[in-house]
Structure 1
């Protein structure tokens, strides 16, 4: 009788251990699954809207559509330059402060906004001070285009650069006239028929700029460290849609 009880107890223990192991493996698999921002469709999708104002930092969670990228790196067009994007390894964090998304830690921070082929983003973003920041469009497997802005005390040049294999192509790196994004401004970022447009307020920073090797991919916002550090920016609102081909 005693042996029977021990056998039954041993069987239950084995079953319990098996269930615990299965649950643990399932949790690890879920945690290791890489999240991505949503694919845009022809219908407008709200990617971020003002949250209830709070002075406390609210971390981004799975409830938010935009996604912080922790494992991300690239080599920009000017490694070692005091202002222009160079060697970049993500170390930053994003959170929500007073309703807007902003960098809350680190310096090299990246945020995946959406994924699309031809697309339009509209929203509002606040910027101030000096520093470096960028936008990537059509980013897939280290290929895509980078719009970068190095804001200095007396100038604010913009650059458009093509990347392959996570590295900038020296012969596809162009400087554009300076424009200082100052304060809270409406924005429109668009790629239609392989042509890039970035409008800030009434100013066209890029207008129908041809991207010869553009392909579908991620749309990414980033800040990078330079002589004046990463530029402070706050993403206040954002929505996006796919432009039918």
Structure 2
């Protein structure tokens, strides 16, 4: 069967194109994403320790041993796990660093290739500014990694969390008091919910989007004995997030214009 491309194009009704434009553009729907900014974690050391059940020595059950910001995107998984490892693991007082003010930069829409073992993600988040919670899709890539020391026998006593994405999952919203649909998802080493976000306040004004709230354990901590604290919605710190909102290209308008152009060109060619 021979298909006449001109007839196919000609059969696209003009009113149908207008209807699509009205539904996707004229009705006020907008598409936006985010660029720049950062997310800052403030972990409550005592709450973090109390939420896990590992306690084989006088050392804390878990503590932050090292943190790398987005500047360490070229480091491999093994470098993050092995670099700056203390020579004397029993001197935990000297090995522990502050868990306050850990800053993760927002990744762009494209990132360089990941080194071995890394899963840093580009930002592919999109939403309608008029309906953030009803339209949020994709994830906000965050550059940075944190290494925890846990109180078990080496070499299983180092935990990496990093290459995270900030995501919104509406099915989680208000599942329990204070619970939001926002998650911080770990992608380095294994994919798992790193932190669940609670008591979130959102401010979307002009080209600025901010989120603030509390942190809870994600199920990625369950293997450290934190499942009870997670199921009890235990708060283990705070977070703040700030970024800029930018409009996405009006792709539907470009597509519709292309259809009209194709039809016009074929009419001209046939004539």
- Smaller-chain TM-score range? under 0.3
Q: Which has the larger radius of gyration?
A: 2
* Larger fraction in strand: 1
* Larger fraction in helix: 2
Q: Normalising by structure 1, what TM-score?
A: 0.26
